Structure 1
Amino acid sequence: MTYAQVILPLPLQGGFTYEVPPEAERQLRIGARVIVPFGRRKFYTGIVDSVSDRKPEGYELKAIAAVLDSGSPIIKRPQIQLWNWIADYYLATVGEVMKAALPAGLKVESETYVEPVPDFEEDPKARLSEREVIVLQTLDHAAKRLTVADIEKLTGFTGVNALIGRMIDKKAVAVSEKLVERYAPRRETYVRMAFGHGDTEALHRAFDAVASARRQEAALLALTDMSGIMRGEPSEVAVKALCERADINLPILKALQQKGIVEIYRKEIGRFRYNGLVTASLPTLSDPQREALNAIHASWRDKNVTLLRGVTSSGKTELYIHLIDFVLRQRRQVLYLVPEIALTTQLTERLQRVFGDKVVIYHSKFTDNERVDIWKRLLCSDEPCVVIGARSSVLLPFGPLGLVIVDEEHETSYKQQDPAPRYNARDTAMVLARMHGAKTLLGSATPSVETYYKATTGRFGLVELTERYGAAVLPEVNVVDMKRARLRGEVKGPLSADASRTVADATANGGQAIVFINRRGFAPVAECSSCGYSPKCEHCDVTLTYHKRIDRLVCHYCGSQYPLPTVCPACKEPAIEVLGFGTERVEDEVGAAFGGATTLRMDLDTTRSKDSYQQIINDFSGRKADILIGTQMVTKGLDFAGVSAVVILSADALLNVPDFRASERAFNMMEQVAGRAGRRGTPGHVIIQSYQPAHPVLPYVASHDYLGFYSYEIEERRKFLYPPFTRIIYIYIKHRDPREVDSIAVAYTHALRQLFGNRVYGPEEPHVGRIQQLYIRKIMLKIETEASMTKVRTILRDLYERMHSVPGSPIRSAQIYYDVDPM
């Protein structure tokens, strides 16, 4: 008997062993998907991790229900190795990594269906509630089984799972499981000649057979030309294209098929095709760019990872294109990581003009089917290609990977926050490259402190581009003291007089402007002017943001929406007003202040659909708008030729964050958005509005002095033992009871101190202490950089299991998770 160790997409330690049925033994491969039972009724898609003939002792084994990939595995062996590394380093489970890596379309899982029990009779001692009666009526009316999601949608109820559980106890409904396959391949109908290429006699006979049928003859003529059957250049012909070319319909082709002249067949095709032309050659490099390119190649002779620090608009992308071409000519693949989906729009168009259909795009805005198509393309082919993608693309099944480019490597968007695994795609990409024997290039105008430290101390190679391309100069930056400006009456709405003048000059001279505020919505605070009451979320400890478009107060942590009160609930006065500025309000104010200018807004609310990013970027690039208002999305490497002015609102909101990375994040964000101005020779002007003009970070931004900022910041990190001089692990504890969470946090911290000594800090309540009804406490663990993460993981896991095994321990009802290298 053969036994398989299977990885399941569950937050449980280790794999699970299943018996392999004799008929499935020859089909089974490591990396193949299998359907396995788990629990009382559930079925999951698992991945075969290993196979053995040794039966585990001590428990009864279940058998694999089905093998989904009898031909070739869906996961490559290096991927499983990468999954194990992610789980080990980021203190997650391999099942959590699997769940994040596999597109939903590759997971066949059981779905719970609910149906009424035939001839149900209500027990007088256990009567149905009003809501239960409505659910039963809904099921009867539908006359079929419904999923829990269907029931919630039809009834408008929440918490339906608990409701269904009570109805099962009352024997009113029954549940069953059904395996659901989410992926549907795209198929297209093709047509081909029923004889071989170059068979002149068969072609003559075919034309003789249709001589009296004019439309069949037209179809045959078009097919002969499109298929290249007589030119020795055979190509497949889609029925749709042939019908359009010959002005015929499908019955005409079927008539040809009945005569034995053609064959009509269906074929599975990918959803992505580049229909444009390769119209651009490799970009011409300036002398500094050529020197940098040679320096990168030289650096790779000694180092596997090289940092390219190039000021904004120095032409880093042109270097990337040359490096991609170099790797593609070696018949190897390239991964090009970008921090935001928005960046893929401009990059894709630019790279497709050079590399055509070798460019592949992958990100979370694609549908499940689209992501599976890309996965299968990479899995089934070792063709040279360049994959442009956001964070999740690092988990794709690469073949002969030759180069990984991490653009804007400093960006926090590369760090997965929730759910687990909380991995950093930048660091994971370096491990991926090493596993494939590939090189890594990290690019940024403002590298992260940790990365630049590694580059200057010799761990990474370092190449620097300090000049803008085409003799363009860095924009002039002025810091406006908002306190003084308000005293002088020089502030109108969100803009100071200097900011208004800068935007007006830019638009009047045919240029464009960007207004950056890192807060979406209309107004961040609703407040009673009489008593000071401010509405808060019922589920989270945060104030609500007013969104004018939907006329609702919204919690940006859990998404709950509330009506804006007309009367204050506290003092009963009609004195509720909205205060402050978000992107929505700034758009209104800027539109009113510059009546002749058109505006666009780029934030989470305007970019929810797959194509919305591209539409906004294309419209602004095409000069259909004069002013772009946006959140941090507008800071991330976008290239707009017409922008000559940038205004940064509320710089203090970036600087005054209770986190050791606040200064670094603020500097990076302001320097990056400032770099959008003056990229094509026209002088750029940047206004930073702040109530703290003397803040130590602002002079470095004003002078574009990254090296000065780095020197200042690295000494602060050294003084207080923060990364890169230590490794940080945050331990979060969540519980519905505030007293319980405090008790658990104190006990957990005490136990940690017994193991790690003075490396443990806390516990403390984080900046937002309650989210979705769960109270949160945070413990910080500082670990030496040379310490083994495997050993740390073992210690933390043993501690958790020891505390969890105590009878009646409150830790059993708490959520505990880890964030390694938090951003």
Structure 2
Amino acid sequence: MLEFAEIEHTDRKTLFAEVILPLSISKNYTYRVPFELNDAIAIGKRVVVQFGKSKLYTAIVKEISALAPEKYEAKYIIDILDDRPVVTPHQLYFWQWVADYYMCNIGEVMNAALPAALKLASETKIVLNTEFEIDRTTLHDKEYLIVEALDIQPELTISDIAKLLGQKTVMPILKLMFEKNIIHISEEVSERYKPRKRTFIVLNPVYNNPDNLRELFPILEKRAPKQADALLAFIKLSRHQKTITKNQLVEESGAGESSIKSLIEKEIFFAEEKNVSRLHFEEDLDSINNFELSEQQAEVLQSINEQFKEKDVTLLHGVTSSGKTQIYIRLIEEMMRNDRQVLYLLPEIALTTHIIERLRIYFGADIGVYHSRFNDNERVEVWQKVLNNDYKVILGARSSVFLPFNDLGLIIVDEEHETSYKQFDPAPRYNARDAAIFLANTHQGKVLLGSATPSFESYHNARTHKYGFAELTERYGGVQLPDVEVVSISLETKQKTIQSHFTSVLMDGIKLALENKEQVILFQNRRGYAPVLMCKICAYTPKCINCDVSLTYHKSSGKLHCHYCGYREDSPSICPACGSTHLEYKGFGTEKIEDELSLLLPEARITRMDLDTTRSRNSLQTILNNLEEKKIDILVGTQMVAKGLDFSDVTLIGIINADSLLKFPDYRANERSFQMLAQVSGRAGRRGKQGKVVIQTYDPNHRVIKQVIANDYNDLYAIEMAERKSFKYPPFYRIINLDIKHKHPEVLYNQAVYLANELRKHFGERVIGPEAPLISRIRNYYIKSIMLKFEKDGISIVKAKAILKEVIVQFQTTKLSKGSIVQPDVDPY
């Protein structure tokens, strides 16, 4: 199935190539291969083709045959861009599966899979690479013309460049310029991922000789006493640690940076700049190569290896800070000894850099990283290295499943419960965890799913023996789980012991942590200052002009923001409806928490981490650096603070309002609330100290909160699964959502009702709706949702999807469908 037959090419044989275009079209197009390209054409290579009247695209060759298309005359392929295929047979098979399973077109999968530089089109914009110094004397005439034109106009389309050079296809020239680092693809010029660097100080080996050192000290003490202090501090520090940073030496010696600089100039010290983790301390780094598994870890590792003999997928359920990463490292080692590749998937690359650095230190040049913070040149470089088998281990976010692996032996899906693995827009709306299982199967590889709070689907599969199962019940190093205390907001409000949004228990805990020079993380799952601005007289609330949501007030900008489409407007001082000046802010977000806490604790250094404060260049890294270096006492954040943070001095976690998680109209609300509360709680007391968690709520007797306190995942699972079985939800039923969108609500209503009725003819009561979703208008499109529930032991899901596709196509051929958008979403949650 994965092997493609070689086709005998002769000089005059007419060949036709079926190609995948990076467009949302339901069928692939077939092009004629010019005779002179017969020997060069191959499956997986990129070709330049014309589609439509004038547009040029880079397409991928999917099949080659001698059969011409029956319905249309095939156009000629214009050029072939590659000497060797850039897409493998495994990938093409995987792309087709993603397209079929998630009910999208293979062109949409290609768009998600390939870096932009590998899929140039005539409207693609080109810019100069400003980080590269161009030697113009080495440029060919055409390259020189392009560079000169980009000097005058910083951004050109490929069509512009074709006109400039007076030739139809310029993609081969641009490909060479891209490979030489001269140009960038503008829509992909994103922030370059910059690892954090630190300067380490090393003593000149000459002074390892005690006699030389004894001679040096008197000279320095007489001429430069501060330099002598720095040298003495270095010797003192080197007795207890292997590596010494410049900052540590300055702090320990009190000598100042100029003294250190002088010692470097005299070659008494050498300075070495190295990449270091942003999320853990350097003293941990040296122990990584030498760690030993605990008795429980060793048993779990053996159990996983045994289960891999019979099962393709194993679930590792380990409490937070139980040492799952160390087990991953041992499994990766085994794969590398067998010369097989490993994919390590993470939900949020930006917040898990400590894992990247740990693995890089351990595996060196064999590990590659792939994520959205890399610019396009870097992504293409990683793509080529994976293709060439230069990287044995790839660490990446969900898009890493599309890389060109040759022999994938193991996929590790860390924090497998995370919703970040699901792509919601645009298509393909795939879940990287589920796609990874199919991908591993195509390579005869294994999958390890790891989580402290597994998704119910994965846990159910483990309980029913579809997956293997292993469990870590103890924190690594014997550190205890944090002490959890629940505080009633209602009770403290009555007793008048609450200050702003902070109960007396939380405030006392924060003050105690600050006195002990420890750090605090406060979690509030809403950004902005106040979610709602309301008139006290007429209850008017400003709403977005494009979406059916109220606008959120942001104090930093002084404006009202829509968190769905980005619309902004000035905050009114007079009610536009009744003219009243009595406007008040209802609710609170992270910005308000930060603001009010700074008034209550003016001496504390408080920082906020949410989408608003991490937009700018390197802002996220700066926050994490400052937290590690203890320049921050209190970090206020949204769910970003729940993922991957690992700091030794964070001893208190405060959850400002747990009710915002629990009271949500979604069948997964309790599961997600438990996961979020447990993950946030797990950030406390990770290195030797038992942490404390304070959960503030109006409902301290809520079942989920009690389950979090008891860390009783099994009780949550048992109760929730009984309800899901009764109400026909996953994992007992499969769900496919259909969103129908239109700019006119009356037209949309008729379209949705028609489509639902057509579906009921085939699926009966399995069709629910149409209903308006929670947010019924986004970006001026009104939305209706139809939900289809399919029992796992009943109708074939493949057959159901085929019928569903037919009904959608039939609907789209009617006049009624004009102006509508229909979006299927398989496994939507």
TM-score (norm 2): 0.79
Indicate if the aligned counterparts of 1:394 and 1:429 stay in contact, CA closer than 8 A.
yes
Question: Helix, strand or coil: the match of 1:707?
Answer: helix
Residue type at the aligned position of 1:185: E
1:13 to 1, 26, 44: 26
1:384 CA drift (Å): 4.9
1:64 CA drift (Å): 1.2
Indicate if the aligned counterparts of 2:398 and 2:432 stay in contact, CA closer than 8 A.
yes
Alignment of 1:593-632 (within 5 A): 593-609=600-616, 611-632=618-639
Residue type at the aligned position of 1:297: N
CA 465–815 in structure 1, closer or farther in 2 if over 3 Å, else same = same
Q: Distance in 2 between matches of 1:334 and 1:352?
A: 14
Q: Distance in 2 between matches of 1:799 and 1:93?
A: 16
Residue type at the aligned position of 1:812: K
1:541 CA drift (Å): 0.2
Query: Is residue 2:298 matched to residue 1:290?
Result: yes
Q: What whole-Å deviation, never above 9, does each CA across 1:516-540 have from its counterpart, x for those lacking one?
A: 1111122211222332211110000
**Residue in structure 2 matched with residue 164 of structure 1 by the alignment:** none
Q: Once structures 1 and 2 are overlaid, which stretch shifts more, 755-764 or 496-505?
A: 496-505
**Residue in structure 2 matched with residue 671 of structure 1 by the alignment:** 678
Query: Is residue 2:708 matched to residue 1:696?
Result: no
Q: Distance in 1 between matches of 2:656 and 2:380?
A: 41
**Residue in structure 1 matched with residue 106 of structure 2 by the alignment:** 94
CA 788–80 in structure 1, closer or farther in 2 if over 3 Å, else same = farther
Q: What whole-Å deviation, never above 9, does each CA across 1:594-647 have from its counterpart, x for those lacking one?
A: 222212222112223563333322321222211111111111232121111111
Alignment of 1:63-74 (within 5 A): 63-69=76-82, 71-74=83-86
Q: What whole-Å deviation, never above 9, does each CA across 1:347-369 have from its counterpart, x for those lacking one?
A: 11111221122221111121112
Alignment of 1:674-823 (within 5 A): 674-786=681-793, 787-806=795-814, 809-823=815-829
CA 609–68 in structure 1, closer or farther in 2 if over 3 Å, else same = farther
Alignment of 1:344-423 (within 5 A): 344-379=352-387, 381-423=388-430
Question: Helix, strand or coil: the match of 1:697?
Answer: helix
Q: Distance in 2 between matches of 1:520 and 1:84?
A: 39
**Residue in structure 2 matched with residue 26 of structure 1 by the alignment:** 39
2:75 to 49, 58, 62: 62
Q: Distance in 2 between matches of 1:608 and 1:654?
A: 24
**Residue in structure 2 matched with residue 242 of structure 1 by the alignment:** none
Alignment of 1:398-547 (within 5 A): 398-547=405-554
1:25 CA drift (Å): 1.5
**Residue in structure 1 matched with residue 263 of structure 2 by the alignment:** none
Question: Helix, strand or coil: the match of 2:811?
Answer: helix
Question: Helix, strand or coil: the match of 1:111?
Answer: coil
Alignment of 1:297-336 (within 5 A): 297-336=305-344
Q: Once structures 1 and 2 are overlaid, which stretch shifts more, 612-621 or 73-82?
A: 612-621
Residue type at the aligned position of 1:317: T
Residue type at the aligned position of 2:767: V
Q: Distance in 2 between matches of 1:395 and 1:144?
A: 35
Q: Distance in 2 between matches of 1:695 and 1:333?
A: 46
CA 91–530 in structure 1, closer or farther in 2 if over 3 Å, else same = same
Q: What whole-Å deviation, never above 9, does each CA across 1:795-819 have from its counterpart, x for those lacking one?
A: 111112222223xx22132000111
CA 496–148 in structure 1, closer or farther in 2 if over 3 Å, else same = farther
**Residue in structure 2 matched with residue 36 of structure 1 by the alignment:** 49
1:736 CA drift (Å): 0.3
Q: Distance in 2 between matches of 1:306 and 1:673?
A: 25
**Residue in structure 1 matched with residue 595 of structure 2 by the alignment:** 588
Q: Distance in 2 between matches of 1:178 and 1:67?
A: 11
TM-score (norm 1): 0.80
Indicate if the aligned counterparts of 1:645 and 1:684 stay in contact, CA closer than 8 A.
yes
Indicate if the aligned counterparts of 2:685 and 2:692 stay in contact, CA closer than 8 A.
yes
Query: Is residue 2:72 matched to residue 1:48?
Result: no
CA 595–145 in structure 1, closer or farther in 2 if over 3 Å, else same = closer
Query: Is residue 2:573 matched to residue 1:566?
Result: yes
Q: Distance in 2 between matches of 1:311 and 1:58?
A: 59
1:633 to 640, 647, 661: 640
Aligned pair count reads 684
Q: What whole-Å deviation, never above 9, does each CA across 1:564-594 have from its counterpart, x for those lacking one?
A: 1122211122333333221122122223322
**Residue in structure 2 matched with residue 550 of structure 1 by the alignment:** 557
Residue type at the aligned position of 1:819: D
Q: Distance in 2 between matches of 1:415 and 1:369?
A: 26
Q: Distance in 2 between matches of 1:294 and 1:145?
A: 58
Q: Distance in 2 between matches of 1:600 and 1:330?
A: 46
Q: Distance in 2 between matches of 1:112 and 1:362?
A: 23
Residue type at the aligned position of 1:719: S
1:275 CA drift (Å): 10
Q: Distance in 1 between matches of 2:28 and 2:664?
A: 41
Q: What whole-Å deviation, never above 9, does each CA across 1:414-440 have from its counterpart, x for those lacking one?
A: 000000000000011111111111111
Indicate if the aligned counterparts of 2:532 and 2:586 stay in contact, CA closer than 8 A.
yes
Question: Helix, strand or coil: the match of 1:43?
Answer: strand
Q: What whole-Å deviation, never above 9, does each CA across 1:388-447 have from its counterpart, x for those lacking one?
A: 111111111112211110000000110000000000000111111111111111000000
Query: Is residue 2:178 matched to residue 1:184?
Result: yes
Residue type at the aligned position of 1:330: N
Question: Helix, strand or coil: the match of 2:306?
Answer: helix
Q: What whole-Å deviation, never above 9, does each CA across 1:630-683 have from its counterpart, x for those lacking one?
A: 111111232121111111122111112211111111110011101111212312
Q: Distance in 1 between matches of 2:159 and 2:57?
A: 21
Q: Distance in 2 between matches of 1:47 and 1:344?
A: 34
CA 24–177 in structure 1, closer or farther in 2 if over 3 Å, else same = closer
Question: Helix, strand or coil: the match of 2:298?
Answer: helix
Indicate if the aligned counterparts of 1:110 and 1:178 stay in contact, CA closer than 8 A.
no
**Residue in structure 2 matched with residue 219 of structure 1 by the alignment:** none
**Residue in structure 1 matched with residue 115 of structure 2 by the alignment:** 103
Indicate if the aligned counterparts of 1:480 and 1:693 stay in contact, CA closer than 8 A.
yes
Q: Distance in 1 between matches of 2:501 and 2:770?
A: 39
Runs of 5+ consecutive residues of structure 2 not aligned to the other structure:
1-13, 126-150, 161-166, 183-273
1:789 CA drift (Å): 3.5
Residue type at the aligned position of 1:365: R
Q: Once structures 1 and 2 are overlaid, which stretch shifts more, 386-395 or 546-555?
A: 546-555
Q: Distance in 1 between matches of 2:365 and 2:622?
A: 22
Residue type at the aligned position of 1:498: V
Q: Once structures 1 and 2 are overlaid, which stretch shifts more, 568-577 or 739-748?
A: 568-577
1:752 CA drift (Å): 0.6
Q: What whole-Å deviation, never above 9, does each CA across 1:72-103 have from its counterpart, x for those lacking one?
A: 11111101111111111111110110001111
Alignment of 1:149-298 (within 5 A): 181=174, 184-185=178-179, 279=286, 280-298=288-306
Question: Helix, strand or coil: the match of 2:529?
Answer: coil
Q: Once structures 1 and 2 are overlaid, which stretch shifts more, 551-560 or 610-619?
A: 610-619
**Residue in structure 2 matched with residue 267 of structure 1 by the alignment:** none
CA 490–697 in structure 1, closer or farther in 2 if over 3 Å, else same = same
Q: Distance in 2 between matches of 1:102 and 1:556?
A: 29
1:694 CA drift (Å): 2.7
Question: Helix, strand or coil: the match of 1:491?
Answer: coil
Indicate if the aligned counterparts of 2:122 and 2:158 stay in contact, CA closer than 8 A.
no
1:326 CA drift (Å): 1.6
Q: Distance in 2 between matches of 1:65 and 1:148?
A: 19
Residue type at the aligned position of 1:6: V
Residue type at the aligned position of 1:4: A
Question: Helix, strand or coil: the match of 2:427?
Answer: coil
Question: Helix, strand or coil: the match of 1:813?
Answer: coil
